[in-house]
Every structure is written in C-alpha cells, then in structure tokens.
Structure 1
Amino acid sequence: MAARVVLVAGFTPHDVADELWRAAPQSVLVRHDLSGLADGVVRRWVDGRLTVLELAHGCVSCTLRLDLVPLLLELDGPVIVHLDPVLEPEAVCFALSETEVQVDAVVTVIDSATWLADATGTDSLADRGMRAAEGDERSVAQVVVGQAEFADALVLTGDSDPALAAVLDRLSPQAPRQKLDELDVSALLGAIPATARRGEVDDGFGPLLYGQPPLEPAHGVSVVHFTERRPFHPMRLHDSIDVLLDGVVRARGRVWLASQPDEALWLESAGGGLRVGNLGPWLAATDDWAEAGDDRRAAASLRWDPYYGDRDQEIVVITRFADPEEIVATLRAALVTDEELALIAELDFADPFADWHEEMEL
C-alpha cells in the first residue's frame, strides 16, 4: 500500500513538520536538504537517520524522480515530508501524480515579516546563495508565491499583517490559516475543505480564479481579471511585460499570440520573475479532442466562438502596489488592432516568445 503524505513547504526555517510528526505517532518524518545539489549531493533524513545521496545530474527533477518518489513508494503509513526551502510543492505533486502516493495535504509556512517583500521583490535564488542547481534561475518570489498558492493550509510566523492577509485571501482563498505560536495540528488539518486540491495539478486550462477569492480591493491589494477574444501582438506584449512584474504578487494565465495561432501559451509571474510555457494546441487547432479532459471540453464548448473557437486571453493578476487600471489598459493596447486582425494571415510577426516555450528544468 502506497504512502499517504503531508508535504510541508516554506522558505523560512521552521519546525512545523516536526509538530505534524509528533501529532501523528505512527507517521514517518522525511527531511530533504538540497544545499549541496549543485555538486550532485542530496542529504535526506528518515526519522532522524541520515542518508547522503550522490546523483549523476544535480537537478530538482532528478532528486524527485530518483530519490523522493521511490522512497515514498516504499514507505507504509502516513509520511510527513519536510521539503527543502527551495522546493515548490506543485513540482513535487506533479512528480507524484502518476504514482499511487496520495497527498493528504500541502502545508506552507509563511514568515509574516518577510513574505510580502520576498513575493514582490527581484532577488533570485542565486542572489541569496540558494539556487538548487547550476541552471536554476528562479526568483525568490517565484518560490515563495508558488509555495503559498499551492497550499491547502497555511501557518504564519510573527505578527499579523493586514496586507499580507489580503494577499493570501486572494492567492490561496480556501486554505485555513493558523499562527505558529497557536498551532493546533488537528484543527488546522481538519479545517481543510473537501474542495481543496490536495496535490492535484491541473493542465493549465482550468479556472484561474481558484477557490472564489474576494475581488474587491483591500489594504492596497487588488485582483485584475483580464479577458479578451483576440490575439496579442507578440512584440507589443513583450514590450508591455513589465506591467505584470512591477508591484505585482502574482500573474498567471493563458495567452494567445498572433504569431502562434494554434498554440496556447502559459504566462506566470511572481515579483520580478517570469515564466512562459507551452500548454499545447487550442482545441480549435486540432481534430483530436481525446486527450483533453472532460472539464476542458465542457468549458471550451460553453465559450466557443464561430471564428476564434476556444482561443482567448485570460490572465489573473494580484497586485500589491500596481494600478489595476494601468494593467488592463496596457494589456488591451498589446492586442492586435482591427487592421492587423484583418491581415493576420499575411503578416509576419517578430516573436520574442518563440524560444520561451519550455519551462526551466531545474
């Protein structure tokens, strides 16, 4: 029988995993240290017993594929996994998605004193001496925002901050929260709603406003939901991209470029860090819908346009200091004009996104 797992993430040092372990006497505590991963070395503790692993390729995906996933498949009973600070739980859950391991919860620890600055900053992991491998170009913001966004429950250290609470209400609206000095493990895990994702990774075509977050502004925090039914001009979008980086906690969504009419792109930013990936073809560009999930086919059918099919723009932005109206106006100005749309099959667009199709492999 495969393990049932609780993943504990967090960029700040913490002992929350130990608290969960002590609250479940039959559980196993697994702890990972990736600080030596660039040299191909991973340190792993299982109930306090240290194992030093040497990997031929020092990368996060290798660590998950060659160490953590096989380990969890071998263990029985509940397992508490204390993730290294630079690990994003979504990547771990993606690695586990094709196995029998069941993720019962993802718990993320938030440092109330530093999280907002980290989430809107421009520091890279390399700037902090924390990158997981030679090619790891992620920003601190990408890590801390990803850890919070994918959480089923949150534990906060330090004093309360209304602005931080407003961001978390919109970034991870379903996740129950407790302060570390008042932590009640049973109550926290018991408050996780039945609709929580519990490690489920979507294909990028699901709802972007996950968990019905509040849409009205609060404490300087706003949500922008940008939707349009015509493509972006690739160069104008590229020139406008700073509007999704300055004063923004998170931007994520599906993008349709005039230069790539058949491909759905995924755009995701956090603080000053940006990722662009390829989600695959729009359903309108393929005759084979077999690989598309039921939810995607149903959503596409509901919004189907005789001309565009399921192609559209949808980007959700959580702002901290940025002006929501400026974001909307800038993105709208990056769309193709009526004249360009009429000549779209004849125009040769310069495309700075052409080489951004692959997500970074860490």
Structure 2
Amino acid sequence: MSTSTDVVLCGYFPHATAEVARRMAAGRRVVLVDDLTVLPDGPGLLVVVPDDCEPDQVRAAWPGEPPRVITVVPADLLLDALSDERIGDLVSRQIEQADTVALEGAPDGGDEWEAEQLRVLVHRIAPWGPAERGRRVDAITRGLRGRAVGIHEPLPSYGVVSCVFHARRPFHPGRLHDALDEVTEGVLRSRGHFWLASRPDIVWTWESSGGLTLGPHSGWLGPLPADLWHEVDPERCLAAGVEWDPYYEDRHQHLAFIGLDFDPVHLHRTLATCLLTDDELSRGEQVWRTYPDPFSERTVTRRT
C-alpha cells in the first residue's frame, strides 16, 4: 500500500493540523480518515487522522511500510494542553511517538524566547534519535529495555528542566504516596517505571501530564523461571542481564521528569527519602510486604 513518501498528520487540535495539511498538500492526495479501520491506498498520500489517534496506533494499523508520522501542536496551546488533565497524556504521547513534531503558529505574544522554550520543551519530551523513531517502543516502559526514558539536563535551558531518577532500592509505599503531590509540582511530563517494597514482584508504570496515573504493568524477571524467558521481549531480557544485581535482580526505579523552572535537586532528594532506609532494607521482603499500602487499587490516578 504505502511508499516512503506517505505522510500522516495527527494532533489533538484540528485547526492546527488542517493548516499544516494545507501547506503540505501540493502534489499529494490529501485524505481525511474517520478511523484507522479503513485506510487509503496509493503512493504519495497525505493522510489526516482523527484527533485522538496516536502515531503508534497509525503504524500498527498501516499495511506495508509505515508512513512518516507528523504530530502537529499549536504553539499557543502547547503548555495548556500538557497541563490539562483530560488531554495531557494524549498530547504527550502524540509528541513522544512522532517522527517529527510541527509547532504550528507562534506562542502568545510571538516572543522568540518563548518560541525557543517550546522547541526545547518538545525535544526534552521526545529526545529520541532518528534511528529510534517509528519503532513503537512505549516511552513509559523504555527503561525496562535498557533505553533512556528521558535525558538528564537539570540546568534550565530557556526555563526547561529535564532530570532522571534511577535507583535500585524499592520505594516505601506510604512515603511515596505522601510525596506524590510534591514530586509532580511544576512538572509538565513524567514517565517511567518503579517498584514498591510492599509488592516486590510487580513492575509499576508512572505517567503524568496534567494528571498522574500509576498502575501495575508486569512482573519482574527475577522470579520468572529461566525456561520462560524466551516468552519475554528479547531486548528486555538483554537489558536485565546486563544490569543484573545479585540482590535486587532486575528490579529498579527509572523515572524521567520534564517541566519549567522546577528544582531538580529538591525533586531528587524527595524521591530519595521515599526509598527504604538501610534499617528497613535489612528487614527483608517478608516485612516489606506487611507495610500499609495506599496503592491498593489496580490503578491510582491523581490530579497534579
């Protein structure tokens, strides 16, 4: 069906997507689709998908060679969109999964400093190199495959801060739960995975943009019999083997945070205080499992 010249435009804001489509329409057949179950055929297409579609969904539904996917975001609405608890996660994923992000228009006031701030912010949200784009690797679980979930740039660039927290010790469930509001203050996007002392066999995912969503993803590989490892993604198995710890096995924390003018040192220290202390660690898993666990629901969603 497709050729390398096929282009798909996605984005939550139809007016911005339509403007980019108008400018790119020369010499192409422009097709608007209502859903991904019926896709057009032919070379050199410019396809505009519904505003709630994510690039990875497009690639999964596209027969043949995946198209180039461009996410369109209006510059004057980007910050508000990322802070919106209804659409923040969707807009973030559209940016993270895109081959290219097109900032349409100018920020309010047309200030060049603010325009550069938005460009830096988009790059911090999706810092992946060209070779990684379009491979359908979930940004939230990249760390399980040994990939970066973000880049560590704690010094502000145009006010944009990006930092990564990595640790082997488990979080104390009560202390982490109490610190969630403090940890997410000033953060526009955060993602990754973590583990709790009270549930040492479970990988939890972390995603925030407007709202914070935490939920169980899978089991850790340590308890999994060796003869079943072939059923796990090979990249994850390789990453686990490289980083294997004789005590923690493959369990670890890997979280990334991106925002404007927040204090990365304070954030790191806050998360570090949520880890088990030496005394708590020495008591072992049987004691850890008895800790009161506020993360009792299958998925925990909080406003930031």
What range describes the TM-score normalised by the shorter chain of this pair? 0.7 to 0.9
CA gap 1:241/1:7 in 2 versus in 1, 3 angstroms: farther
Which one-letter code corresponds to 1:345 in the other structure? Q
Task: Tell me the TM-score normalized by structure 1.
Answer: 0.69
Q: Which residue of 1 aligns with 2:158?
A: 219
The 3-state SS of whatever aligns with 1:224 is strand
CA distance in 2, matches of 1:319, 1:208: 21
The question of whether the paired residues in 1 share the 8 Å contact of 2:2 and 2:66 is answered with no
Partner in structure 1 of residue 109 of structure 2: none
CA distance in 2, matches of 1:219, 1:269: 22
Aligned CA distance change for structure 1 residues 174 and 285 (closer, same or farther; 3 Å): closer
Maintained 8 Å contact 2:12/2:91: yes
1:192-230: CA deviation from partner (whole Å, max 9, x where unpaired): x4x142252348223553686856431121111111111
> Residue 167 of structure 1 corresponds to which residue in structure 2?
121
Q: Which amino acid in the other structure matches residue 287 of structure 2?
A: E
Q: Which amino acid aligns with 1:147?
A: Q
> CA separation in 1, counterparts of 2:292 and 2:27?
57
User: Residues 143 and 215 (structure 1 numbering): CA distance in 2 closer, same or farther, change over 3 Å?
Assistant: same
Partners of 1:85 and 1:217 lie apart in 2 by: 32
**Deviation at 1:146?**
1.9
Could you say what secondary structure the match of 2:67 adopts? Answer: strand
**Deviation by residue 1:11-44 (Cα, 9 ceiling, x = unmatched):** 3312223444x3453x46133xxxxxxxxxxxx3
- Residues 6 and 105, structure 1, Cα contact 8 Å, conserved in 2: yes
Deviation, 1:235, is 1.9
SS at match of 1:230: coil
TM-score (norm 2): 0.81
Are the equivalent residues in 2 in contact too, given 1:232–1:334 (CA < 8 A)? yes
Matches within 5 A, 1:261-272: 261-270=200-209, 272=210
Kindly indicate whether residue 124 of structure 2 is the aligned counterpart of residue 157 of structure 1: no
* Corresponding residue number in structure 2 for 1:39: none
Structure 1 residue runs without a partner (length 5+): 32-43, 45-66, 125-138, 176-192
Could you tell me which residue of structure 1 aligns to residue 281 of structure 2?
341
Which residue, out of 134, 144, 147, partners 1:198?
134
Q: Secondary structure at the match of 1:354?
A: coil
Equivalent positions of 1:124-139 (< 5 A) are 124=85, 139=86
Which of 50, 53, 69 does residue 87 from structure 1 map onto?
53
- The alpha-carbon deviation at position 353 of structure 1 amounts to 2.4
* Partner residue in 1 for 2:66: 103
Distance 2:206 2:149 in 1: 16
Displacement of 1:100: 4.0
Do the aligned residues in 1 keep the contact of 2:151 with 2:164 (CA within 8 Å)? no
SS of aligned partner of 2:272: helix
Q: 1:210 to 1:330 in 2, by over 3 A?
A: closer
Equivalent position amino acid for 1:68 in 2: L
User: SS of the counterpart of 2:231?
Assistant: coil
What is the SS of the residue equivalent to 2:191? strand
Closer, same or farther in 2 for the Cα pair 1:92/1:266, shift >3 Å? Answer: farther
1:68 paired with 2:15, answer no
State the match for 2:11 in structure 1: 10
Structure 1 equivalent of residue 89 of structure 2: 142
For residues 358 and 77 of structure 1, the distance between their equivalents in structure 2, rounded to whole angstroms, comes to: 45
Per-residue deviation, 1:351: 2.2
Taking structure 1 as reference, are residues 358 and 241 closer, same or farther at Cα in structure 2, changes over 3 Å only?
A: closer
1:92–1:354 distance in 2 versus 1, CA, 3 Å = farther
Instruction: Measure the CA separation in 1 of the matches of 2:26 and 2:126.
Output: 25
Question: Residue 30 of structure 1 contacts residue 79 of structure 1 at CA under 8 Å; is this kept in 2?
Answer: no
More helix, by proportion:
2
C-alpha separation in 2, matches of 1:113 and 1:338 = 48
- Matched residue SS, 1:84: coil
CA–CA distance in structure 1, aligned partners of residues 69 and 31 of structure 2: 15
1:5-84 to structure 2, matched below 5 A, reads 6-12=7-13, 13-14=15-16, 15=18, 16-20=20-24, 22-25=25-28, 27=29, 29-31=31-33, 44=34, 68-69=36-37, 71-72=38-39, 75-77=41-43, 79-84=45-50
More displaced 10-residue stretch of structure 1: 213-222 or 293-302: 213-222
Match of 1:356 among 291, 298, 301: 298
Q: CA deviation at 1:76?
A: 4.6
Contact 1:170–1:213 (Cα < 8 Å) also in 2: no
Q: 1:346 to 1:213 in 2, by over 3 A?
A: closer
Aligned to 1:296: 236
In the TM superposition, residue 153 of structure 1 has moved relative to its aligned partner by: 0.8
What does residue 280 of structure 1 align with? 218
Q: Shift of residue 101 of structure 1?
A: 4.3
Unmatched 5+ residue regions in structure 2?
107-111
Report the secondary structure of 1:283's partner residue: coil
